[in-house]
Structure 1
Amino acid sequence: MKRVAAVDLGASSGRVMLGEVGAHVLELREVHRFWNGPVRAHGRLHWDILQLYRSTLDGLRTAGALDGIGIDSWAVDYGLLDADGRLLRNPVHYRDSRTDGVMERVLEKVPAADLYAVTGLQQLPFNTIYQLTAEALEGATSLLMIPDLLGYWLTGEIGVERTNASTTQLFDVRSREWSDELISRVGLPRRVFPQLREPGDVIGNALPDETGLAPGIPVIAVGSHDTASSVVAVPAADERFAYISSGTWSLVGLELDAPVLTDAAREANFTNEGGVDGRIRFLRNVMGLWILQECQRVWGDDDLDGLLRDAAAAPSFTTLIDPDAPEFLAPGNMPKRIEEHCRATGQEPPRSRGAMVRCILESLALAYRRTLRAAQSIAGREVDVLHVIGGGSQNELLCQLTADACGLPVLAGPVEASALGNVLVQARALGEPLPDLAAMRALVRSTHRLRTYTPQGKPADWDAAESRMFGTR
């Protein structure tokens, strides 16, 4: 039996989860949860990275005796170290406006087709390549993704784990190394890109004097992009599955053995991100529950169950939005933006909160449907079941709408997929007999309750709604 801590950092909260893994045992217990979110200072949106590190240490100290520690987080954001190993400045949040217009400048140097041929990555304006282009890099000697930065503070060891490196748009998805050619063409300094690590590599031991932890605890590289860890914990019985990692963002895709770098994949804006054991996460980012979360913030309404009951009672397909429209990306008055989007597309805005929530969830389900069908067509992979993992798997209305829209059974759970994937990779590195992803997923299936949603309703209604929704672009 291994007793390990999963530090799981999301875009709105962080957790330290205590995991126990052994023969027929996979248990998680939350020992510390803490706030995470953007902090605006002098016109710039930052992460409060020192607060995250302090809260991480608080959780690790609370966890007690440990056999290992692993850290996962969101992608694309980073910290820069100077020659003395000190953080140059507070990491900037990916939703900050500093990258406005930067993508267009980079594409003048390196056309989109060239970028995709090497990285296989979805074009998003906040990708690391565009953040670095907007950054003053004088004095920087090392770039560390957020989990690698916290791992460095824990151990003193510098390096970047591959699944998160694959989200930078500066990583060769075939060789699984930094792309020196792209780094040069964009005009970035090669010196800042450290050695890469595999999930399962031991980074080093936590420094007891620095951290207050017991001596000799190994910090282990996991699938440090939280979605890479989440996909480890998809409780699939075979390869004919698709997944939605559902939270602030929704990542909709397939697990493949090799990247898909065709023109069709690029034009459809699919990404090929690294997974554990060399797998490829062929997916597309779809705006997720962020839109609903921002509506709740503006309304000052924490009663999600009540909102979902009202949404379930609201009429279907009254209004639809494109959840990936750029006006929904940044924090702000989301209900007003939805109303403006509806008017701009010739629709009457929702007249109640329940109707607005229904609009958001039906629109998300339609975006999932369109993305999943495109992924299957482009990759040449048919699926029999759709796994919804993460926090969004608890949203019963969204799960049912997703099953209805996609015409597939939805298997919902586990909720704590990223933490489970984190502890499973640690346990294997520490000697537990989990030789491959199939063994890890079998352990998840045997130890966690899942819920099945069967497609209902008329497929023709969803066909008409999809035609109406995407015909407004």
Structure 2
Amino acid sequence: MSEHHYLACDLGAESGRLMAGHLCDGRLRLEEIHRFPNQPVQEAESLRWDLDALQTAIEVGLHKAAQTGVDYQSISCDSWGVDYVLYDAQGQRMQPAFHYRDPRTARGVKTILNRMPWESIFAESGIQFMPLNALFQLGAEAPERLASAQTLLGVGDAFNHWLGGKPALEVSMASTFQLYHPMKRAWSEALVAAAGLRAEQLPELVPSGTITGTLSQGLMERTGLGAMKVVATCSHDTGAAVAAVPVSVDDSGSWAYLSSGTWSLMGVERAAPILSDGCRELNYTNEVGHGHSIRLLKNLSGMWLLQECRRAWEAEGEAYDYQALTEMAQKAEPWVSLIQPSHPRFLAPGGMPERIAAYCQETGQPVPASKGAMVRCLLESLALLYRQSLQDLETLTDQTIQTLHIVGGGSQNQLLNQWTADALQRTVVAGPVEATAVGNLMIQAIALGQVKDLHQARAMVARSFPTTTYLPLNASSGHAAWERFASLPADA
């Protein structure tokens, strides 16, 4: 069988990577070409993305890819959702590109909810309430700046455009903007108006797997790469990650996924959205995936809390890798203190250990006495948060979930995987780690006609990458902790 080669640029909230995928004999082999940090820029109270630095880093990666001598057939970028890039009348990026954790979003929420009630917003979009959603960010924009913009793109789509693709917004990314109607498969006129946008400012919507152009002549000359297709795969990284969940057709309806990274995105794959009052009240979201599938999920706090604690301790001169922190947690006493990881107080960066300590004190729990105790508090709380989400999903879908597939970087945390299996009393299957890049690459293969469909792609993923299965243990050990967790305040 002939071998096919693709490039995936996967941009995460902490780092980016350029990965090569080599498809041969029904198996995909990954090769990391370039990895680089993604550091937001703090200017006064504002938090922004440094897109110029990301562009430079991606171009370095493309030059490295050219040096491998491989004939790549296509490339695609994916990124986190909700953030957008504005373009002026000359087609140039407008600065700044705001970060979803920028404090302006609180102002945007008030503006949008004064224009349209929350019940109507959910009925139109099916997207959960999160202050960081693009709809609310747009509500915080200066009217003059927004009016002067010619169009807007998601971050992944913006880099696909820079690579040489036409300016288009892939639907998995569009759905995170909270401006898209999942039943009509089109922009919601009501939400677009509420955001302060004009219809002519909206980019073309394209489905996952659309070839949008070819690598630009300038990039070919600067990097040494040959001509290749630019593909809009799932521009939203979660959509790409879910495409790489290694399930078979026979598993339909019996599994859920957890895309584990800075965020934990836990949900099920469906044919149609759920726009019920119950879904809105539980604050679940209906994001679009490959093939217009619906990812019924909830955006939960993930490894963000641990990342922030690690960053704070490093700033104090105590640097630990994640393995060391996990080992410290394993030695700490179980079920001493718990938090609600998705509480709004934990959303902003900075001072995380102090905020966790304050939450424990305010809720009448012991303040974690060591770094190991703090990490154990975080990981146990995440496991119980996943249990809460599993119960919600089973209620909303009226289905019993047998297996949870954990994909992404967080799937490497063996301790959290086992604690999750224990908390859920379900089988947990961890892997692949690089699910987003794998999904990106497999959708490119589908777009180029080298893989038949998503079912075949997932079967290839299952053959290509190892997974680890965790069976539930200690059914009763966390029962009292669960009752305590369920009573903790989850809102400000």
TM-score when scaled to structure 2?
Answer: 0.94
- 2:384 is aligned with 1:348: no
SS of corresponding position for 1:312: helix
Structure 2 letter corresponding to 1:463: H
Identity %: 43
Alignment partner of 1:277 out of 291, 298, 306: 291
- 2:478 is aligned with 1:472: no
Asked if 2 retains the 8 angstrom alpha-carbon contact of 1:49 and 1:90, the reply is: no
Q: How does 1:448-463 map to 2 (within 5 A)?
A: 448-459=465-476, 461-463=477-479
Structure 1 letter corresponding to 2:465: H
Instruction: Note the residue ranges of structure 1 that are not aligned, 5 or more in a row.
Output: none
Asked if 2 retains the 8 angstrom alpha-carbon contact of 1:208 and 1:215, the reply is: no
Asked if 2 retains the 8 angstrom alpha-carbon contact of 1:286 and 1:324, the reply is: yes
Deviation at 1:37, TM superposition (A): 2.2
Structure 2 letter corresponding to 1:39: V
Number of the residue aligned with 1:161: 170
For 2:478 and 2:150, locate their aligned partners in 1 and report how far apart those are by CA, in whole Å.
Answer: 52
Of 411-420 and 113-122, the range deviating more from structure 2: 113-122
- 2:187 is aligned with 1:178: yes
Alignment partner of 1:428 out of 446, 457, 463: 446
- 2:155 is aligned with 1:146: yes
For 1:215 and 1:289, locate their aligned partners in 2 and report how far apart those are by CA, in whole Å.
Answer: 38
Structure 2 letter corresponding to 1:375: L
Alignment partner of 2:335 out of 317, 328, 333: 317
Structure 2 letter corresponding to 1:250: S
For 1:81 and 1:168, locate their aligned partners in 2 and report how far apart those are by CA, in whole Å.
Answer: 16
- 1:106-141, Cα deviation, whole Å (9 max, x unpaired): 123211111111110010001000111111213101
Alignment partner of 1:112 out of 105, 118, 125: 118
Number of the residue aligned with 1:445: 462
Asked if 1 retains the 8 angstrom alpha-carbon contact of 2:138 and 2:195, the reply is: no
Deviation at 1:186, TM superposition (A): 4.1
For 2:95 and 2:166, locate their aligned partners in 1 and report how far apart those are by CA, in whole Å.
Answer: 19
Number of the residue aligned with 1:388: 406
Structure 1 letter corresponding to 2:481: A
Number of the residue aligned with 2:236: 225
SS of corresponding position for 2:305: helix
Asked if 1 retains the 8 angstrom alpha-carbon contact of 2:21 and 2:28, the reply is: yes
Number of the residue aligned with 2:103: 97
Deviation at 1:302, TM superposition (A): 2.6
RMSD over equivalenced CA pairs, Å: 1.3
- 2:26 is aligned with 1:12: no
Deviation at 1:463, TM superposition (A): 3.3
Asked if 1 retains the 8 angstrom alpha-carbon contact of 2:147 and 2:197, the reply is: no
Number of the residue aligned with 2:75: 69
Deviation at 1:66, TM superposition (A): 1.2
Of 133-142 and 202-211, the range deviating more from structure 2: 202-211
Aligned residues: 471
Deviation at 1:105, TM superposition (A): 3.0
Go from structure 1 to structure 2 and tell me whether the alpha carbon gap of 1:195 and 1:317 turns closer, same or farther (over 3 Å shift): same
SS of corresponding position for 2:147: coil
Go from structure 1 to structure 2 and tell me whether the alpha carbon gap of 1:24 and 1:416 turns closer, same or farther (over 3 Å shift): same
Deviation at 1:215, TM superposition (A): 4.6
- 2:266 is aligned with 1:252: yes
For 2:382 and 2:219, locate their aligned partners in 1 and report how far apart those are by CA, in whole Å.
Answer: 45
Deviation at 1:156, TM superposition (A): 5.7
Of 138-147 and 413-422, the range deviating more from structure 2: 138-147
Of 143-152 and 180-189, the range deviating more from structure 2: 180-189
Number of the residue aligned with 2:134: 128
Number of the residue aligned with 2:306: 292
Asked if 1 retains the 8 angstrom alpha-carbon contact of 2:339 and 2:488, the reply is: no
Q: How does 1:225-244 map to 2 (within 5 A)?
A: 225-237=236-248, 238-239=251-252, 240-244=254-258
Deviation at 1:154, TM superposition (A): 1.6
For 1:208 and 1:186, locate their aligned partners in 2 and report how far apart those are by CA, in whole Å.
Answer: 36
Asked if 2 retains the 8 angstrom alpha-carbon contact of 1:2 and 1:430, the reply is: no
For 1:102 and 1:129, locate their aligned partners in 2 and report how far apart those are by CA, in whole Å.
Answer: 8
Deviation at 1:2, TM superposition (A): 1.4
Number of the residue aligned with 1:403: 421
Asked if 1 retains the 8 angstrom alpha-carbon contact of 2:5 and 2:73, the reply is: yes
Asked if 2 retains the 8 angstrom alpha-carbon contact of 1:110 and 1:186, the reply is: no
SS of corresponding position for 1:97: coil
Number of the residue aligned with 1:81: 87
Asked if 2 retains the 8 angstrom alpha-carbon contact of 1:298 and 1:333, the reply is: yes
- 1:63-120, Cα deviation, whole Å (9 max, x unpaired): 1231000110000111111111011212110001011142133123211111111110
Q: Which runs of 4+ in 1 moved over 4 A?
A: none
Deviation at 1:176, TM superposition (A): 1.6
For 1:231 and 1:113, locate their aligned partners in 2 and report how far apart those are by CA, in whole Å.
Answer: 28
Alignment partner of 1:28 out of 19, 27, 30: 30
For 1:241 and 1:261, locate their aligned partners in 2 and report how far apart those are by CA, in whole Å.
Answer: 21
- 1:228-282, Cα deviation, whole Å (9 max, x unpaired): 0000100112211101000000001111111011100000000000000111110
For 1:186 and 1:49, locate their aligned partners in 2 and report how far apart those are by CA, in whole Å.
Answer: 24
Number of the residue aligned with 1:264: 278
Instruction: Note the residue ranges of structure 2 that are not aligned, 5 or more in a row.
Output: none
Asked if 2 retains the 8 angstrom alpha-carbon contact of 1:203 and 1:220, the reply is: yes
- 2:60 is aligned with 1:44: no
Number of the residue aligned with 1:328: 346
Deviation at 1:25, TM superposition (A): 1.8
Deviation at 1:182, TM superposition (A): 1.8
Deviation at 1:168, TM superposition (A): 0.5
